[in-house]
Structure 1
Amino acid sequence: MFFFLLYQILFYLIQPIIWLRLLYRSIKNPAYRKRWAERYGYCHSKVIPKGIVLHSVSVGETLAAVPLVRSLRMRYPDLPITITTMTPTGSERVLSAFGDDVSHVYLPYDLAGSIRRFLSATDPKIMIIMETELWPNLVHQLNRRKIPLIIANARLSERSAKGYLKIKPLMKRLLRKISLIAAQNQEDGERFIELGLRRSQLAITGSLKFDITVTPDLAAKAVTLRRQWAPNRPVWIAASTHFGEDEIILSAHKKLLLQYPNLLLILVPRHPERFLEVGALSSSMHFEIITRQSGSIPSDSTQVVIGDTMGELLLLYGVADIAFVGGSFVNVGGHNPLEAAAHALPVIMGPYTFNFKAICEKLTAAQALLTVQDEVELVDKVSMLLNDADYRRYFGRNAVEVLDKNHGALDKLLEHLEPYLPQRRR
């Protein structure tokens, strides 16, 4: 109880620092200056109460939640859905995916008063949190109001688990207030058990990220875009790149152009506030560039397309022959390789893939993922794949097979959610 009180006091004390951080981030993305009231639970006019609240902190989690939200809307058409995020980027992804079909606000900071206001406004029948966002005040208030809390698509890395073990008594009390943790795999599940979760609170459902699908409409758009952009050119994509990776990618592309003069690179930074920065970097390295947002069609002399739009990554993967997935050359932990795999692309990643450890192990074992340590190896692997179409197809086919074999997490999760929701109409 003492540590919980200390946590609350400290969180209130650091609010001025949080405001300064928001203002600092707003220099590159003005959206960080807006909607501050939502961050403190003031959202009565923006939500429809007595439904489902689903929280996804990142863009990746929002993408994984798309099939879940659509299935919930079909199964429980009378229940309103509110989706919460923490960033403008996540907010934009929700709006582009669902429009007016759901309510959307920021999840408030984990302050007692803010959480109470938020729960009074939403009054949910259930709250679902994607992956592992454990906020003590939120968990406590949900438990106090007897609102079921489900952690869906839950994962807990070895690194995070070691950190939590240092405060195991606190974690045990927190975990015991959660209704159900639906873990991605047994390894993650056992880490939660070690921290104090009861086995009756655990379900192993698999990863929702394996339930990604390329719809016929999206596939048709990708084919059309490929014919417009590069009907007779090889294309590789570097997606979700972070600061420190773009230089490596562009330097590798410069070397590859010596062997493949008509090679086109689609470079997609992870964060929208870096779009202009990466475009400027590309130009400074003397590449001929265009931006996706401009609507221009690459000419024969275009060497780089900057993917500076939101919600189009899955489409852009469909234009490429080879994919590098970012966040893996820097110590971020990598991003989701399955979006590329869904298009039957051979996938390349750097050495830092701990965010998707189990998924990457499956892809590597199936010969669908190539891991590279540096720029030299990246150039070598891309060149090898460009030289041999059969080799590309082999890796791409293996990637799709991994998706197919691990499909089904969504149905398992929906089955586990049923006891916590009103009986649906059949």
Structure 2
Amino acid sequence: MWRFFYTSLMYLIQPLVLFFMLLRSIKSPNYRKRLGERYGFYERLSKPAQNGVVIHAASVGEVIAVTPLVKRIQQDYPHLPITFTTVTPTGSERVKAAFGESVTHCYLPYDLPDAIHRFIDFIQPKVFIVIETELWPNLIDCLAHRNIPFIVANARLSARSAKRYGKVKQCLQRMFSQISLIAPQDNISGKRYLALGYEKERLRLTGNIKYDLVVSDDLLKKTALLSADWVKNRPVWIAASTHEGEEELILHAHHLLLKKHPNLLLLLVPRHPERFNPVADLIEKANFHFIRRSTGEIPSENTQVILGDTMGELMLMYGISDIAFVGGSLVKHGGHNPLEPLAFKLPVVSGKYTFNFPEVFTSLLEVQGVLQINSTEKALSEIIDKLLNSKGARQRLGNAGYEVLIENRGALQRLLDLLHPYLTHISENNK
């Protein structure tokens, strides 16, 4: 009965959903493109190869996290068709940049039964793998009725989501019974799923596949070239994946830092592309000499800030930096992945709001592999200043965090081992 009310509500709110999409499209026009796909209409797409696997990564962060998994699947199961679904245009762009034409991409439709049925009829998958948190009752039910396994890989369940699901715990038991496998990225998420009533026998802890991040030789070559053009022996700090309310603090902190380190360069990389222009306005109003990465301009010795306004280059930016601040943590967003800068052995600074990655930050804090600060420009400028003044401190912090990264690798292989029975069967049928 609850799903009837849920579905009715989903249909009733569609005018609001479309209005919201229209508002978002003012800043990001791609949100009003391909709207038909949001309702399961794919006339503009060529029909993909059938009997494959769907991998759903909601937005760009999940796409980046799952990229190594998808590349391994392509390597180990070359005959397996892969359809990649996202819900954001930035996620779509990242899929195309990472995989080109080797996968089919489309938007996952809203959780409306008719739209979901059209989607499944179009793709005709044999397995559906969701990354991290996406649980849609109608999607799961439709797949179950067609005997298509639904798997949650690298599963994460935040305290907020667990509390929200807990209020309707009894209503979720049918949905949970239809999920073939949940592979949590940490013990905390695993315990939260079990507390909600998911069967222990079908939950397999793998660890976080983000620990399996490897810096490729190609990336190292690109960072060396960019460093030669941009850095030229200047100290560089990066503020990455920033959100509204953080950039002002970061820019104020940079003003304070320039008084002590006049040739310091800041790489400022907002999390969402629709904020590139507003952040550029903030930088200009703060009276910095700055350039935008998208122009291809080479910074001069007078350049104080570079705005990272391109997609898919965050790792490249980390590679030329000396210190990394990871955003979403000075405001109550919950933080972002601190492991990417640690792959370069960078010292990582974070705000105190890191509830999106509880076990990762706990592990890092235990070995002093990350520094957490209060949400003030003074605290930020002081910690960056201390690190700039001590190469030894930078190395100790970076090495401690890197060791945590190395010690926790292996989740990707554990996840592949769990997926093997599902993927082998359909891959052999596609030969």
* TM, length-normalised to structure 2: 0.97
Aligned residues of 1:176 and 1:196 also touching (Cα < 8 A): no
Aligned residues of 2:158 and 2:189 also touching (Cα < 8 A): yes
C-alpha distance in structure 1 between counterparts of 2:194 and 2:275, whole Å: 40
**1:255-302 alpha-carbon deviations (Å, 9 max, x no partner):** 000000000000001111111111111011100000111111110000
Instruction: Note the C-alpha offset of 1:382.
Output: 0.3
Aligned residues of 2:21 and 2:32 also touching (Cα < 8 A): yes
C-alpha distance in structure 2 between counterparts of 1:346 and 1:421, whole Å: 39
Match of residue 39 from structure 1: 38
Match of residue 223 from structure 1: 224
| Secondary structure of 2:331's aligned partner | coil
C-alpha distance in structure 2 between counterparts of 1:262 and 1:394, whole Å: 24
C-alpha distance in structure 2 between counterparts of 1:101 and 1:50, whole Å: 16
> In the alignment, residue 12 of structure 1 is paired with which amino acid?
Y
Match of residue 379 from structure 1: 381
C-alpha distance in structure 1 between counterparts of 2:191 and 2:172, whole Å: 14
Match of residue 327 from structure 2: 326
Instruction: Note the C-alpha offset of 1:422.
Output: 2.9
Aligned residues of 1:151 and 1:181 also touching (Cα < 8 A): yes
C-alpha distance in structure 1 between counterparts of 2:162 and 2:21, whole Å: 29
C-alpha distance in structure 2 between counterparts of 1:125 and 1:75, whole Å: 17
Q: Are positions 1:27 and 2:26 aligned together? A: yes
**1:349-394 alpha-carbon deviations (Å, 9 max, x no partner):** 1111000111111111121100000222111110010000011011
> In the alignment, residue 310 of structure 1 is paired with which amino acid?
M
Partner residue of 2:396 out of 394, 397, 402: 394
C-alpha distance in structure 2 between counterparts of 1:81 and 1:366, whole Å: 40
Q: Are positions 1:247 and 2:248 aligned together? A: yes
| Secondary structure of 2:93's aligned partner | helix
C-alpha distance in structure 2 between counterparts of 1:406 and 1:97, whole Å: 25
C-alpha distance in structure 1 between counterparts of 2:421 and 2:101, whole Å: 28
| Secondary structure of 1:265's aligned partner | strand
Instruction: Note the C-alpha offset of 1:21.
Output: 0.7
Match of residue 258 from structure 1: 259
Match of residue 215 from structure 2: 214
Q: Which has the higher mean CA deviation after the structures are superposed, 47-56 or 260-269?
A: 47-56
Q: Are positions 1:410 and 2:412 aligned together? A: yes
| Secondary structure of 1:355's aligned partner | coil
Q: Which has the higher mean CA deviation after the structures are superposed, 358-367 or 248-257?
A: 358-367
C-alpha distance in structure 2 between counterparts of 1:186 and 1:308, whole Å: 36
C-alpha distance in structure 2 between counterparts of 1:185 and 1:28, whole Å: 36
Instruction: Note the C-alpha offset of 1:83.
Output: 0.5
**1:165-198 alpha-carbon deviations (Å, 9 max, x no partner):** 1111112221111000001122211111111111
C-alpha distance in structure 2 between counterparts of 1:182 and 1:212, whole Å: 18
Instruction: Note the C-alpha offset of 1:49.
Output: 2.1
Instruction: Note the C-alpha offset of 1:33.
Output: 1.0
Instruction: Note the C-alpha offset of 1:56.
Output: 0.4
> In the alignment, residue 385 of structure 2 is paired with which amino acid?
S
> In the alignment, residue 97 of structure 2 is paired with which amino acid?
S
**1:317-372 alpha-carbon deviations (Å, 9 max, x no partner):** 00100000111111110111111111110001111100011111111112110000
Aligned residues of 1:54 and 1:130 also touching (Cα < 8 A): yes
Aligned residues of 1:363 and 1:402 also touching (Cα < 8 A): yes
**1:145-170 alpha-carbon deviations (Å, 9 max, x no partner):** 10011100001122321221111111
Instruction: Note the C-alpha offset of 1:312.
Output: 0.4
Instruction: Note the C-alpha offset of 1:67.
Output: 0.4
Aligned residues of 2:288 and 2:304 also touching (Cα < 8 A): yes
Aligned residues of 2:188 and 2:359 also touching (Cα < 8 A): no
Aligned residues of 2:345 and 2:398 also touching (Cα < 8 A): yes
C-alpha distance in structure 1 between counterparts of 2:20 and 2:188, whole Å: 36
C-alpha distance in structure 1 between counterparts of 2:2 and 2:146, whole Å: 22
Match of residue 176 from structure 1: 177
C-alpha distance in structure 2 between counterparts of 1:186 and 1:370, whole Å: 23
Aligned residues of 1:50 and 1:80 also touching (Cα < 8 A): yes
C-alpha distance in structure 2 between counterparts of 1:190 and 1:240, whole Å: 29
C-alpha distance in structure 2 between counterparts of 1:114 and 1:132, whole Å: 21
C-alpha distance in structure 1 between counterparts of 2:421 and 2:339, whole Å: 30
Match of residue 315 from structure 2: 314
Aligned residues of 1:322 and 1:345 also touching (Cα < 8 A): yes
Aligned residues of 2:368 and 2:400 also touching (Cα < 8 A): yes
> In the alignment, residue 395 of structure 1 is paired with which amino acid?
L
Aligned residues of 1:210 and 1:403 also touching (Cα < 8 A): yes
C-alpha distance in structure 1 between counterparts of 2:330 and 2:264, whole Å: 22
Q: State, as a whole percentage, how many aligned pairs show the same letter.
A: 51
> In the alignment, residue 415 of structure 1 is paired with which amino acid?
D
Match of residue 152 from structure 1: 153
Instruction: Note the C-alpha offset of 1:239.
Output: 0.5
C-alpha distance in structure 2 between counterparts of 1:286 and 1:375, whole Å: 17
- Counting only pairs closer than 5 Å after superposition, residues 76-91 of structure 1 correspond to structure 2 as 76-91=77-92
* TM, length-normalised to structure 1: 0.98
| Secondary structure of 1:153's aligned partner | strand
Q: Which has the higher mean CA deviation after the structures are superposed, 257-266 or 189-198?
A: 189-198
> In the alignment, residue 165 of structure 2 is paired with which amino acid?
Y
C-alpha distance in structure 2 between counterparts of 1:221 and 1:397, whole Å: 23
Q: Are positions 1:96 and 2:97 aligned together? A: yes
CA RMSD of aligned residues (A): 1.2
Match of residue 17 from structure 2: 18
| Secondary structure of 1:266's aligned partner | strand
Q: Which blocks of at least 5 consecutive residues in structure 1 are unaligned?
A: none
Partner residue of 1:421 out of 400, 410, 423: 423
Match of residue 106 from structure 2: 105
Aligned residues of 2:69 and 2:412 also touching (Cα < 8 A): yes
**1:31-85 alpha-carbon deviations (Å, 9 max, x no partner):** 0110011111122634332101000012111111100000111111111101000
Aligned residues of 2:347 and 2:398 also touching (Cα < 8 A): yes
**1:2-24 alpha-carbon deviations (Å, 9 max, x no partner):** 21101111111111111111111
> In the alignment, residue 346 of structure 1 is paired with which amino acid?
P
The number of aligned residues is: 425
Q: Are positions 1:198 and 2:199 aligned together? A: yes
C-alpha distance in structure 2 between counterparts of 1:386 and 1:230, whole Å: 15
Q: Are positions 1:142 and 2:143 aligned together? A: yes
C-alpha distance in structure 1 between counterparts of 2:31 and 2:192, whole Å: 35
C-alpha distance in structure 2 between counterparts of 1:77 and 1:200, whole Å: 31
C-alpha distance in structure 2 between counterparts of 1:41 and 1:133, whole Å: 18
